[in-house]
Structures are given as C-alpha cells and as structure tokens.
Structure 1
Amino acid sequence: MTIGLENGTVMRAFRIYTLLARDNAVGKERLQEYMADDVVRGLVDQFAREVDCVTVIAGEQLYMIPETRLSPFHMNNEVIKRTYLRANAVNADLYLMYVSIIVLIGGFYDSYQTMEPTRSFIGIEEWTELVNERIALLKTHPEAELREMEQEFSYNWTALIEKWSAMDDIKETAARQSGNTISRVSFMDSVRKFLVAQELVIDIGNQEITLTEKAKVVVQRYFMELEYNRGILEFLYQSNTFEEEGSEHASHL
C-alpha cells in the first residue's frame, strides 16, 4: 500500500501511529491531521491492524485499542492482577472484575436494551448492589447448568459466585477479618481504579462515576455485538426467577 506514496505522507502517518503506540491516544491536533488526509488515515489504520489493533475516535481523541489477545498492546491477566487487584488475586477475581464491568455498562444502558446511555452517572454503592443482584440471579441456576455455561463462555461462574459470597458486605467488618477476605466495597473500588486508568470512566465526586466518550464508542462497537459478548449478556440478564413473570430484560436483545 505504501509503494508510490510520498515519504512525507508515510512519515506523518507513522508519527501518529508511534504516538498511539506510546500513549494509546492522540489529541485534537493529531486527530485533525488523521481525519484531513484519507491516505494518512488509511496508513495509520493499516499500521494498527498489523499489531491486531483498531483505531477509535471518541470526542476529540483518537485511540488505538487492541482487538485480539495476540496484540502486543493487549493487557494480559497477570498484569491486570498485579497492577489493579490484590497481590494474591486469582482468576476468580478477574472473572468477577469482568462481570462487574459488564454490569456497570448494563447499568448505563438499561440492561443492554438501548444503544445510548439512559443515565449520566452511577454511584459506587448502586453499582455494587447491581452486581449483587446479578450474582443472586446466577445462584438460582442449577450447578450443572453453570458448569455447562462455563464451557460455552469460558467464564468460571461457580468460582466468581464463591468469590463474591466470601466478600463481606461492609468494609469495617472485612477489615477485622484475617486471611484473604476483602470487602465488596474494596473490590469494587479496585475495578473503578482500573476503569479510570483505562480512560473508560471518570470520577465526578460523591462516590459517583460517569462513562467517557471512549467507553461509549467501545460499547457500541463491541459490547453490543453477538461475536463478542451477546451470549454472556443474555445469560446474565435473562429474566430473573424472583421477578414478576414477563419482565422484559436483555434476553430480548
């Protein structure tokens, strides 16, 4: 694709790519340069694809996001555990983190029934309660069904249920316990810190967070797509057995 192109054009595209590779994002000036020239834009996108990434425009920022686990820019599970979770975190902590993020987004998108957020912010306490509701729903499934779903989605549902159940409801009680038990509040705060670091949410004070433009674009491009999360969303958001019959949920997606 680069054969016959002016060296200056290639270098402009490469400079944008190197900034994306270093910082994961570029600001307004580079975004305008990216948008103004079809050739530059095509080259940047091609460079990104070569490392299994995609470019995403959100607000006045251009982001480069890993699309597969093969990307050298993909953050692996060990890095997430070491950086954002407690020192002795295990895979069950990761499963619970992923589900907590899915539930958070579901809180903004009316259980995934809408393509646009239906609220502007959510409190950490409410988010924690929403996760608790999803875990309570998972507990109503027979163990055999959970095992079957584990094979289908590569999520260890049983382990994350046990992990959440072992956590204490309030921080003060957990602080008095020894061993590996932490509070749900502490865990959710760790997930919040991860999302802030990834520029997916912003703290707005009063223990409340809001989605970034980057998060909204990622949700629209990936979370709503069947090939990525649809089956998991349907499983998590199917009608609750303890709610009234006919309650509409994301199972109708």
Structure 2
Amino acid sequence: MNYPEQKVIQAFRLYTVLARDGQTGMDGVQLYRADDAIRGLLDTFAKQVDCVIIVTSEQLFLVPETTLSPFHVSNDWIKRHYLRAGATNGDLYLLYFATLVLFGSFYDTYQSQEPTRLFLRLDEWVRFIQERIDQLKTHDEEELKQLEQEFSYNWRLIIEKWDDMDDIKESAKRQSGNTISRLSFIDTVKRFLADQGLVQDIGNEEIRLTEKAKTIIQRYFMEVEYNKGILEFIYGFKEEQHADNQ
C-alpha cells in the first residue's frame, strides 16, 4: 500500500518516541486510533523489530513479541540488574513463576475478561506462590519432567529455589552468609515489574496492575495460542480459590 509522505513521517516520528521511551502519551493514542494510515504504518514498523503496539485508554506501548526483538530484555540483563550476585537460571525461573502467579491472582478464572480485584498485598502474593508450589509438589518426579517439557518451565528447580528461601530457615542461612527471604525476593520481583510498567506500588505493601499489564495479560496470557495454557495449568487446580480470598 502506498502512503502519503506526510503520513509516513508522522508515523515514523511516533515510532521513534516508542523506540526511545517504550511508550507515548494520549496524543499518540488519539493519532493511532483516529488515522488508519498511521496505525497501519506504526504496526508495520513494530513488526519489523518483532514488536507489537499495545494501546490502552491513555498510552501506546511498544512491546517485544519475540526474543529476537532488539527491545527484548535478556535473561542476563535481568540477572545483572535485579537478582542477587551469583543468580542462576533457577532464580530467573522463580521470578517468572512469581510474575505468573501475580497476574493470575487478579483474575477469577482462566480467560477472565476483567480483573476481579483492585490490588494485592505482598504477603498475599507470597501465600499464593506457596499454594501453587504446594500444588506442584503433588506431582511425582516423572510427572514434573513431562510438565517441564510441555511448558518449558523447570518446575523442580522452581520448587527447590522457593523452598530454599523458607523464612523459618533464615537464621541458619545468615550464619552461612547466604540469606534471602521470600518477602525480599518478592520485593525484587515487584521492583522489576514496576520498572517495566506492569505494576504500580500504591503503598502499605500493596500493588496493582497497570493498564499496560491488563492489556498484555488479555492479549497474550489469556490466549492459549501464545501461552500454551500456562495460567490454566497454574490456576486450574483450584479456580474457586480466588473468590474465597477476595
């Protein structure tokens, strides 16, 4: 399709803001929604760098869709900037798992259209993770191996890393100089997600999802095509549980 030069320039200017900042304000949203040519061009620009445009009521976001994108945050970068010195892939898997548990805790059932809670306390987040870990432990070794192949998550290593952070064992770990509590780890995950614009710290040890997070969850985590049913697997065991905890 041939586009007028003015439209190409407008779209490219908008793309450069997204590439630089990862987001735009309301002006970008209005332009994206109102002009088919600019929307088409911007989507094309994003596709060329393996990204997608996420639009909320007030902002546009440029979000990497694959690990090939130059805007993708690498595992090594996360380790260096957020996890403790000497962090392993196990710490990274646990960070991802904690994020999935967080996202799922805001929704009543798999494929919910809207969040069913406004905020989450950090201690509740820890408790939800423990519940999901306990459920994972009901599978035997062979089952976990099969599930690891199906979902590409190292469930056994996640269990091991979480158990190693048991607060009851903290005094012994302090003596060895290798201490990290579950709440401390969750605070690190919260900081990472806040820096990515996915959660907002509202004080009193409480966080809430941003519009960016809600849009991404609906577009990807609630779609089996993208997530292979990961939230259904994690939360499908006790779907009624969240209604009891509101």
Q: TM-score, normalised by structure 1?
A: 0.89
**Which of the pair has the greater relative contact order for Cα pairs under 8 Å at 6+ separation?**
2
Report the counterpart of residue 81 of structure 1 in structure 2. 79
Q: CA RMSD in A?
A: 2.1
Task: Give unmatched runs, 5+ long, in structure 2.
Answer: none
**Contact 1:9/1:40 (8 A) holds in 2:** yes
Report the counterpart of residue 199 of structure 1 in structure 2. 197
Deviation at 1:139, TM superposition (A): 1.0
1:205-220 matched pairs, under 5 angstroms: 205-220=203-218
1:87-102 matched pairs, under 5 angstroms: 87-102=85-100
**Contact 1:170/1:184 (8 A) holds in 2:** no
**Contact 2:151/2:228 (8 A) holds in 1:** no
Report the counterpart of residue 123 of structure 1 in structure 2. 121
Kindly indicate whether residue 34 of structure 2 is the aligned counterpart of residue 36 of structure 1.
Answer: yes
Task: Quote the Cα distance in structure 1 between the aligned partners of 2:202 and 2:177.
Answer: 33
**Contact 1:171/1:184 (8 A) holds in 2:** no
Report the counterpart of residue 158 of structure 2 in structure 1. 160
Partner AA of 1:71 in structure 2: S
Report the counterpart of residue 63 of structure 2 in structure 1. 65
Change (3 A) 1:231 1:40: closer
Task: Quote the Cα distance in structure 2 between the aligned partners of 1:111 and 1:89.
Answer: 33
Report the counterpart of residue 54 of structure 2 in structure 1. 56
Change (3 A) 1:161 1:172: closer
**Contact 1:53/1:71 (8 A) holds in 2:** yes
Partner AA of 1:80 in structure 2: I
Q: How many residues were matched structurally?
A: 242
Task: Quote the Cα distance in structure 2 between the aligned partners of 1:249 and 1:113.
Answer: 16
Report the counterpart of residue 134 of structure 1 in structure 2. 132
Task: Give unmatched runs, 5+ long, in structure 1.
Answer: 241-246
Q: TM-score, normalised by structure 2?
A: 0.91
Task: Quote the Cα distance in structure 2 between the aligned partners of 1:56 and 1:64.
Answer: 6
> Percent same amino acid among aligned pairs?
59
Partner-residue secondary structure (3-state), 1:210: strand
Deviation at 1:179, TM superposition (A): 4.1
Report the counterpart of residue 4 of structure 2 in structure 1. 6
Change (3 A) 1:134 1:39: same
Partner AA of 2:226 in structure 1: Y
1:230-241 matched pairs, under 5 angstroms: 230-239=228-237
Higher helix share: 2
Partner-residue secondary structure (3-state), 1:82: helix
**Larger deviation, residues 105-114 vs 125-134:** 105-114
Change (3 A) 1:170 1:30: farther
Task: Quote the Cα distance in structure 1 between the aligned partners of 2:79 and 2:102.
Answer: 20
Change (3 A) 1:174 1:41: farther
Deviation at 1:172, TM superposition (A): 6.7
Deviation at 1:117, TM superposition (A): 0.5
Q: Deviations over 1:80-110 (max 9, x none)?
A: 1111111211111111111111111111102
Task: Quote the Cα distance in structure 2 between the aligned partners of 1:164 and 1:236.
Answer: 16
Task: Quote the Cα distance in structure 1 between the aligned partners of 2:63 and 2:149.
Answer: 27
